[in-house]
């Protein structure tokens, strides 16, 4: 007999129980596909909402409220017969087919890990402590609050270099997140801040984007990288590729070449890693702590345990280092696993995962975006329109879609980000 307190009010199933950990793109898609199927499905997440991470940067830049890109999991699951528990996975006991969470233990027949990834600071503790990150809704709100607060503080400084330090923004990491953020800050400097702070000379504010590798958007074509760099340059962003950042102490950013820059707003967007889960052997993990899975997304050496989305590493000839950690991969793996689990139950052969790359998009600002699609490469207005439509349609919930559309339309017409409210808990920021 186990001495673990069981998670309450989930009946002993008459069918097999599938426990899905993580209600992100992968976990939620799988859960919805398993609704009313021949399993008892239990979804566990440490947050009670599904988050649309691709638009987090707009929350950080006062363009959207977090509620526009987050959707309550219980609402999505209404009438689905799926059990939801707000809980954090702490350990897996594969021999007992049991997980331990902060609210109790739960037996499973199939376990699906869809726990995503977290920010990778590559062991640099000073940067982890002092820079801002953008992985969750609280992070985006923290960025918004701290930047607004620093702009306010700049008004009370005397020396020009001190004013600049409070206004300057450094973004580290030239992937889509860094590029999109840099563009959004630049538009804020161009359209909003001069009106909000007429006393300040906005020429004092530098927006810098650092990328250690030779080019921006390394997951996209060279053409897209060059165009994004050109757009950022047009918006007045100082782009420095081939430039690694070594340290940050809350005021002084130190580059690997020894150069220092005074800047109070530093956002780290230079990589992600997954979290190891107690109970699985070290041999289960590959690069970036991603779980090594076979073509059916089953964790190597752990029958009955699956991993999908950002936290798994599956190679195929076209992707020898694993798939990109993007939403499309998570959605496609979830859809395939749903079918494979049903096939498994029926004694039918499972289908291996093959990624269908539908292309990549990144936006820099109004009418400025790049798109690498299977049928061609696009830039400018068309790519921007495509980016907007794809993102709008991907957000969960009709109300959220409408709110985002409304905020975007307002911003488009007025050139204003309307949500510059400093709402914070006393003490921090
Ligand atoms: C700022 C940003 C911008 C992005 N932009 C794009 C983009 O433009 N296009 C694109 O395709 N991709 C983009 N991505 C990547 C995309 O969001 C991810 O690839 C996708 O979210 C992966 O889905 P997932 O389900 O694997 O993980 P997630 O969506 O991260 O979901 C993981 C879930 O697991 C939960 N969880 C984690 N650990 C535990 C635990 N121990 N116990 C319980 N619950 C847990 C989390 O709360 C979360 O709900 C972006 C990511 C970020 C951060």
Handedness of CA 266, 267, 268, 269 (dihedral sign): negative
Expressed in angstroms and rounded, the spacing between residue 91 Cα and the centre of ligand 1 is 20
Q: CA–CA separation, 110 vs 330, rounded Å?
A: 18
Instruction: Indicate which residue's Cα is closest to atom 30 of ligand 1.
Output: 116
State the DSSP H helix or E strand holding residue 275, giving kind and residue range, or none if neither: none
Ligand 1 nearest atom to the CA of residue 47, by list position: 47
| Residue nearest atom 29 of ligand 1, based on CA coordinates | 24
Contact 264, 151 (CB under 8 A): no
Residue 81: Cβ within 10 Å count: 12
Q: How many CA atoms lie within 13 A of 235 on its CB side?
A: 31
Token pair, residue 93, equals 């006991």
For CATH 3.50.50.100, list the domain ranges present in the chain: 125-271
Number of H helices, E strands in the chain: 13, 25
Which contiguous run of DSSP H or E holds residue 62? none
Residue to substitute in 32, 46, 53 for testing ligand 1 pocket (most ligand atoms within 8 angstroms of CB): 53
Tokens of 309: 């989305």
CA of residue 317 to ligand 1 center, whole Å:
25
What pLDDT was estimated at residue 414? 87
Q: In this structure, which topology does domain 125-271 adopt according to CATH?
A: FAD/NAD(P)-binding domain (3.50.50)
Q: How far is the CA of 171 from the centre of ligand 1 (A)?
A: 20
Q: Can you tell me which residue has the tokens 């962003």?
A: 237
In ligand 1, which atom is closest to the CA atom of 87? 43
| One pLDDT digit (tens) per residue for the chain, 429 residues | 457 999 999 999 999 999 999 999 999 999 999 987 889 999 999 999 999 999 999 999 999 999 999 999 999 999 999 999 999 999 999 999 999 999 999 999 999 999 999 999 999 999 999 999 999 999 999 999 999 999 999 999 999 999 999 999 999 999 999 999 999 999 999 999 999 999 999 999 999 999 999 999 999 999 999 999 999 999 999 999 999 999 999 999 999 999 999 999 999 999 999 999 999 999 999 999 999 999 999 999 999 999 999 999 999 999 999 999 999 999 999 999 999 999 999 999 999 999 999 999 999 999 999 999 999 999 999 999 999 999 999 998 899 999 999 999 988 888 877 677 887 767 655
What pLDDT shows up at residue 37?
Answer: 82
Q: Which residues line ligand 1 (CB under 6 A)?
A: 21-27, 44-47, 53-54, 56-57, 88-89, 114-116, 134-135, 176-177, 309-311, 325-328, 330
- For residue 52, how far is its CA from the centre of ligand 1 (angstroms)? 8
CA of 116 to the centre of ligand 1 (A): 5
Q: Whose CA is nearest to atom 20 of ligand 1?
A: 327
Mutate to test the pocket of ligand 1, among 21, 22, 357, 396 (most ligand atoms within 8 A of CB): 22
CA of 40 to the centre of ligand 1 (A): 24
Nearest to 80 by CA among 11, 114, 31: 31
Quote the ligand 1 centre to 309 CA distance (angstroms).
8
Which residue of 77, 104, 115 sits with most ligand 1 atoms within 8 Å of its CB, as the best mutation to test the pocket? Answer: 115
Name the residue with the closest Cα to ligand 1, atom 50: 54
Residue 265's CB is within 10 A of a number of other CB atoms, namely 22
In degrees, rounded to 5, the angle at the alpha carbon of residue 22 between the alpha carbons of residues 177 and 27 is 90
Residue indicated by tokens 């810098």: 208
Question: Tokens representing 220?
Answer: 């996209």
310: left (phi over 0), alpha (psi -120 to 50) or beta: alpha
Name the CATH topology of 16-117+274-346.
FAD/NAD(P)-binding domain (3.50.50)
**Cα gap 342→298, rounded to integer Å:** 14
Q: Residue-wise over 185-212: b if at least 16 C-beta within 10 A, else e? A: bbbbbebbbeeebeebeeeebbbbbbbb
Residues of the chain with CATH 3.50.50.60: 16-117+274-346
Angle at 398 (CA atoms; ends 396, 400), nearest 5 degrees: 65
| Residue 66, H or E segment | helix 66-69
Ligand 1 nearest-atom number relative to CA 361:
8
pLDDT at 428: 55
Hey, which of 23, 50, 54, 105 would you mutate to test ligand 1's pocket, going by the most ligand atoms within 8 Å of its Cβ?
54
Considering the entire predicted model, what is its pTM? 0.96
Atom 26 of ligand 1, nearest CA residue: 309
Closest Cα to atom 39 of ligand 1: 115
């Amino acid at each position: 007999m186990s001495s673990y307190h069981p998670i309450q009010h989930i009946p002993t199933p008459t069918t097999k129980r599938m426990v899905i950990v993580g209600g992100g793109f992968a976990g939620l898609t799988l859960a919805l596909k398993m609704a009313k199927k021949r399993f008892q499905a239990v979804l566990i997440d440490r947050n009670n909402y599904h988050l649309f991470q691709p638009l987090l940067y707009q929350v950080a830049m006062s363009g959207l409220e977090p509620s526009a890109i987050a959707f309550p999991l219980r609402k999505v699951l209404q009438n689905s017969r799926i059990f939801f528990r707000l809980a954090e996975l702490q350990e897996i006991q594969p021999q007992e087919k049991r997980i331990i969470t902060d609210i109790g233990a739960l037996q499973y027949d199939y376990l699906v890990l869809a726990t995503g990834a977290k920010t990778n600071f590559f062991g640099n503790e000073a940067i982890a402590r002092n820079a801002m990150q953008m992985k969750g809704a609280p992070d985006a709100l923290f960025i918004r609050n701290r930047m607004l607060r620093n702009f306010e503080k700049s008004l009370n400084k005397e020396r020009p270099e001190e004013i600049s330090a409070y206004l300057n923004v450094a973004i580290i990491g030239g992937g889509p997140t860094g590029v999109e953020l840099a563009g959004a800050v630049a538009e804020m400097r161009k359209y909003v801040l001069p009106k909000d702070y007429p006393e300040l000379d906005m020429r004092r504010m530098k927006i810098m984007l650092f990328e250690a590798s030779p080019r921006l958007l390394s997951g996209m074509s060279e053409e897209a990288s060059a165009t994004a760099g050109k757009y950022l340059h047009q918006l007045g962003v100082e782009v420095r590729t081939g430039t690694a950042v070594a340290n940050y102490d809350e005021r002084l950013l130190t580059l690997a070449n020894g150069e220092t820059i005074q800047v109070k707003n530093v956002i780290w967007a230079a990589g992600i890693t997954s979290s190891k889960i107690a109970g699985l052997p070290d041999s289960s993990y590959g690069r970036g702590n991603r779980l090594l899975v076979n073509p059916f997304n089953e964790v190597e050496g752990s029958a009955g345990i699956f991993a999908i989305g950002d936290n798994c590493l599956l190679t195929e000839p076209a992707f020898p280092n694993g798939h990109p950690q993007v939403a499309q991969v998570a959605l496609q793996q979830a859809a395939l696993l749903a079918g494979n689990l049903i096939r498994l139950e029926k004694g039918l052969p499972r289908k291996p995962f093959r990624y269908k790359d539908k292309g990549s998009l990144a936006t820099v600002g109004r009418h400025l975006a790049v798109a690498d699609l299977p049928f061609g490469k696009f830039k400018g207005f068309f790519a921007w329109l495509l980016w907007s439509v794809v993102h709008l349609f991907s957000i969960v919930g009709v109300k959220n879609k409408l709110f985002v559309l409304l905020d975007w339309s307002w911003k488009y017409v007025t050139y204003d980000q309307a949500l510059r409210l400093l709402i914070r808990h006393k003490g921090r920021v």
